[in-house]
Chains A and B, each alone.
Chain A
């Protein structure tokens, strides 16, 4: 795979506000890439610099190896799906989708053939003559996709395309976008603040905070091996406990965690190395051992403080002696599982492999 977009030390300031601070990344051909972060982290600005709507304050953006400095959005091999979809209200669906073909030397029948193809691709067969204002939110989204994809761009930029849809439709569109991306093989760059969305859809995710990329990894690595506390906190839920590390035998570290005891972890679990000062563990990596026969690698006694019921699962807040903050433990509500109550004395089971050491 070769890179299609090369971001080299990209800076962008709006007056005194630095929106992007030396962002560097490579986006590969044909991958589904996400920019994930809280609002104001610069992810949309980064997308708009790739599209060409923002001039750079510093750095270089290469698309297909070509410097994009001074190249206007209409001459870049990238098309954008806007957050508001930007469906032209005075044109019908067919005219909207065909808009990008205006400057192509095509006959009318070629154009309508392409429009039909693009609409089929997004599941809107026969919508050519529908007026823009009669469309639902999901349909507007599809028209925006068809309009951007009809030009067969090298890169499709999506600015929070699903944030205006309700939950059911959003989940449906997530799968569909993923399918569409595999079908057309075009590089998709998605901006989102929804970590779940990014995890489901992306090949790789760049997590951004404060105008910088905090971590760029596959969804799996991002979730299981976050590089710092900020990333770990933004993606999913994580319990943090203070811990101190020292080098054990080659490739392993000894970590002392008050309340949990001495733990040996592999270096792979410690992005921070021996300088790590805290350990993190995901709620689903902790198990509540319900009866005496159930055992685990490591066991720690605790007491249930609170129960949050989510239907398919429950989150338990468990107090453990020697640990300041209660631990969050999640359990699937499977058939026949004994219900727990507040103040129940329980044992938490866990394994040293689920721990990570962080700064």
Chain B
């Protein structure tokens, strides 16, 4: 056997291993059987109907949406400030500062969660609420936002802003008329990515949640009841589809932004 064939089959095995669990999710969501096992019983939407009946789940969805929307707006705003500063100006300690901001990207979430809980409860004496989860989510979303927006700001020709000022506009009107429209695809992409990350995040939400559980925390709770597991599969399927749609939209906007400013694509997350 040639090594090329060996590598090809390795890649296929790897992909199957990676995506098999994901494929099983919709498989059992549309299965009418009560237990998660083969052979499948039949095709039906009953688990989705059941989802619609659980009221606590709806509350959890709204909590998660609230957190995800606020997180994505905060993280993108902060990301915009940081990447604008990093691409336009040079200031003392720029390297280390930017490095520190990006650290949560590689820091284990459990560390972030535990340290936040210590700081919030022991040091600051605050209680847990959705705002503590938002704080944690902003912390892990900002690096993603910066990574996306850095590209958008870097591909923006500095002379475009100078030309606008030269033609009579002020710094602020230039930002509104030139900079913002040109980095808008990057901003939308950052909003969507932050939204998805916050929506799917579990560990920080689990540690920092107060009286209102997020969707991911609620699902974790559901898993203790075997009867609910098919409904969890249905819920997981919905979340999978939503996440994929949002990520695709985000990548579409990121690429459109690069095309608009006429720069070569240098990667991204997808």
Q: Which residues of A contact B (CB under 8 A)?
A: 51, 53, 72-74, 79-80, 82-84, 86, 88-90, 99-100, 102-103, 133, 147-148, 151
Contact = CB atoms under 8 A, between A and B. Distances in A.
A86 B165 contact: no
B42 interface: no
A102 B177 CA distance: 11
A72 B165 contact: yes
B159 to A, nearest CB: 4
B265 interface: no
B67 to A, nearest CB: 33
Given A84-B157, A88-B178, A89-B260, A73 B162 contact: yes
Nearest to B169: A74
B162 A99 contact: no
A82 B181 contact: no
Given A88-B160, A89-B262, A80 B166 contact: yes
B165 A89 contact: no
Interface in B153-171: 157, 159-160, 162-170
Q: Which one of B160, B166, B168 has the highest number of Cβ atoms from chain A below 10 Å of its Cβ?
A: B166
A100 B260 contact: no
Nearest to A79: B166
Given A89-B261, A89-B262, A133-B262, A74 B165 contact: yes
Interface string B113-144: 00000000000000000000000000000000
B169 A102 contact: yes
* Interface SS majority for chain B: helix
B182 interface: yes
Contacts, number: 56
A84 B182 contact: no
Contacts of B165: 72-74
B254 to A, nearest CB: 16
Contacts of B261: 89
Interface residues of B, number: 18
Contacts of B160: 86, 88-89
A99 B163 CA distance: 10
A195 B262 CA distance: 31
A74 B159 contact: no
B183 to A, nearest CB: 11
Contacts of B157: 84, 86
B182 A90 contact: yes
A80 B260 contact: no
A241 B70 CA distance: 77
Given A79-B167, A147-B163, 20 more contacts: A53-B162, A73-B166, A74-B166, A74-B167, A74-B170, A82-B162, A84-B157, A86-B157, A86-B159, A88-B160, A88-B163, A89-B160, A89-B260, A90-B260, A99-B164, A102-B168, A147-B167, A148-B166, A151-B167, A151-B168
Nearest to A100: B167
Contact of A83 (B159, B164, B167): B159
Contacts of B260: 89-90
Nearest to A75: B168
B94 to A, nearest CB: 15
A328 B165 CA distance: 49
Contacts of A90: 181-182, 260
Interface in B181-229: 181-182
Contacts of A73: 162, 165-166
27 contacts: A51-B166, A73-B162, A73-B165, A74-B165, A74-B167, A74-B168, A79-B166, A80-B162, A80-B166, A82-B162, A82-B163, A84-B157, A86-B157, A88-B160, A88-B163, A88-B178, A89-B260, A89-B261, A90-B181, A100-B168, A102-B168, A103-B169, A133-B262, A147-B163, A148-B167, A151-B167, A151-B168
Contacts of A102: 168-169
Contacts of A133: 262
Nearest to A157: B166
A74 to B, nearest CB: 5
A73 B171 CA distance: 11
B167 A99 contact: yes
A99 B168 CA distance: 9
Contact of B159 (A79, A82, A89): A82
Query: Which of the listed residues A73, A79, A84 has the most CB atoms from chain B within 10 Å of its own CB?
Result: A73
A228 B168 CA distance: 42
Nearest to B162: A53
B182 to A, nearest CB: 6
A240 B32 CA distance: 97
